[in-house]
Structure 1
């Protein structure tokens, strides 16, 4: 399969997983706690099963690293080429009845995410992109290209985490920047807003966020002309020990 075909595979699975998530939401669900005290629901597990099964059916020799499988069975060693899956990013938002939860699928090659899909089950929208080839949004059955925007003259629109904010670090980051607006929201939907040109910067300066939380968003944003960098200004790499990221900043298009 070429990367366009791989992207369409991931898009279809994100769509199927999103339908399953919404079915669980309508039926009602219990909230459980994983070993790290983070929440998990039947929707997380059902969606990951759909995605993993579909990826392995199409490409049985490729490693799939999924959040829920890692929580239950441990973390596999990374390979040169592997999938990273967060079936329901923003479980806290899902459990609270907010719409800011997404399904994330990314393909990593040589430690870099090369394509990414972010599905928004509550709206039926799909964001997708291939690094070097562009990004698009599918909404209402139609697709249109999207691109990160250059910083507007009136100042930056900053996206901040609803649940994982490091106040001191974020305030320090903002010193010297002209911030015109701040929106707090959950999940990797923030990457999609940056890729669509709805905002300009997202600092996530505390370490501990996992690779499956960022891989699809990084690929999407890079495909749209943005970037995701660590404290040294280098793009995030993948397949690190424990699949754990350092702090980072996601930016829209450069000035």
Structure 2
């Protein structure tokens, strides 16, 4: 019995040491992965990386991670010569194949979300244009309100107007704002002039290879963007 008790004590101690070593290793790996992602993607902020699953050391040995969560606040994404500040971006990466020393990392699939405030979206718009929440239409579709100082050379007038616009995703990498209707559309050629000032597309560049915008929804405090991806390359 005494030998059995000693064996059990040794097993508990070794198990505790293994768990401690595993947690230390995963912490170091998360820091290393965050640095690799920041450098590879040219990010302005420091990402937070959380490696799921236990034990971690066996996942490293197989060079396969079950799930990795990446979160970044205050990222800046290029958009047609301008930058859009993304307030918060998070992604869950599944079945991640890693190289030695985390020199490369590719996720088989990914899901996530991002949020852009109206203030930051307005900064990425044309001069004098502000974007805000426009509620929902009769079908329940979310809308935004675009307010602009319209310049109408044909009429020699300048005036400020607000229009209700829809927000959508185009080609998996572009956010589009388009007015449902515009003032003065009954005047030939005027609608085109107005739309050139209030409608716009903003293509997000610099996203990890394999990530695409899935859909965007206007909310009272900004636009929420769902993202998906396959064979998402994070580093290497």
Q: TM-score range by the shorter chain?
A: under 0.3
TM-score by length of structure 2 reads 0.27
* Larger Rg computed on CA atoms: 2
* Structure with the higher fraction of residues in helix conformation: 1
TM-score by length of structure 1 reads 0.26
* Structure with the higher fraction of residues in strand conformation: 2
